[in-house]
Amino acid sequence: MKKYALHALLAINAALVLALAWLWIDKTGQLRNIHWLPSSPQTTDYSAMVPALPGLARADTSQFIAMLDRPLFSLTRRPPPPPPPPTPQEPPDNFSTAQLSGLFLGQGDGGAIVQIAGKARRVRLRETVEGWTLSGVQDRSATFTRAGQSRVLQLPRAALTNAPAHLPAPSASTPRAAQPPAIPASPGQEAAGAVPQPPADKAPPRATFGGRVIK
């Protein structure tokens, strides 16, 4: 049994060797597929993969315009009126807070120093500031004109204060000088007469002249 099994294995191995030789060796006796051969390129038509777009055609917009003229969710089936145009806003009038702080004169020319919005502006005659033109300078005033209107700015005067005519009277809370204690009299002095008391402290006389106190 073992003898026939050995022959069978040898026959199978020989068959496998012949099969490998037929796969590896060609008819000319050379090995097959030892050199790489480039495969043929595969071409793809991408334009055929994209779906065709519809051509440009003239659209009928009459139905869309009719829908705008008669809106579906409006009670009157009428479009809302257009909004009113915005009202133009006038620029802020900064010159309304202008204050005249100084004047100056030159050789046939002059000007003024004006405080506008917290900033000092030096304006000469016939110059324009905030839309107003300085048209004239007087002793203590300056005249500005614009579109037939005129504004006169006056130079403020310094406030004068008078000195007090007399000193203020002492208030009730001012402490007074302490009085010296009375000296008791002896029995002999009581018989002779009353004991003279020391004079109380009195303020010296004062005179007022021209709003000043003279001691």
**Amino acid 212: pLDDT:** 47
- Mean pLDDT, rounded, for 193-212: 49
Q: Cα angle at 50 between 45 and 53, to 5 degrees? A: 135
pTM of the full structure: 0.36
**Amino acid 162: pLDDT:** 57
- Of the spans 30-39, 140-149, 203-212, which averages the highest pLDDT? 140-149
pLDDT (tens digit, 9 = 90+) per residue, 83-136? Answer: 888 888 877 778 888 889 988 877 667 899 999 888 898 998 889 988 899 998
Are 123 and 129 in contact by the 8 Å Cβ rule? The answer is yes
- Mean pLDDT, rounded, for 39-63: 83
**Amino acid 144: pLDDT:** 93
Q: Please enumerate in sequence order all residues whose Cβ is within 8 A of that of 199, keeping only pairs 6 or more positions apart, or say none.
A: none
- Mean pLDDT rounded to a whole number for the chain: 75
**Amino acid 191: pLDDT:** 42
Q: Cα angle at 169 between 163 and 172, to 5 degrees? A: 145
pLDDT at residue 139 tops 50 = yes
The Cβ of residue 95 has, within 10 Å, a number of other Cβ atoms equal to: 17
d(CA 112, CA 122): 6
Are 100 and 154 in contact by the 8 Å Cβ rule? The answer is yes
**Amino acid 193: pLDDT:** 46
**Burial grade of 185 (CB within 10 A; 0-12, 13-18, 19 or more):** middle
Q: Report strand pairing: 141-146 vs 149-154.
A: antiparallel
Domains of the chain: 96-154 (2.30.30.830)
Are 135 and 145 in contact by the 8 Å Cβ rule? The answer is yes
Which of 35-39, 62-66, 150-154, 210-214 comes out lowest in average pLDDT?
A: 210-214
CA dihedral 209, 211, 213, 214 (to 10 degrees): -30
- Mean pLDDT, rounded, for 52-58: 80
- Mean pLDDT, rounded, for 68-97: 83
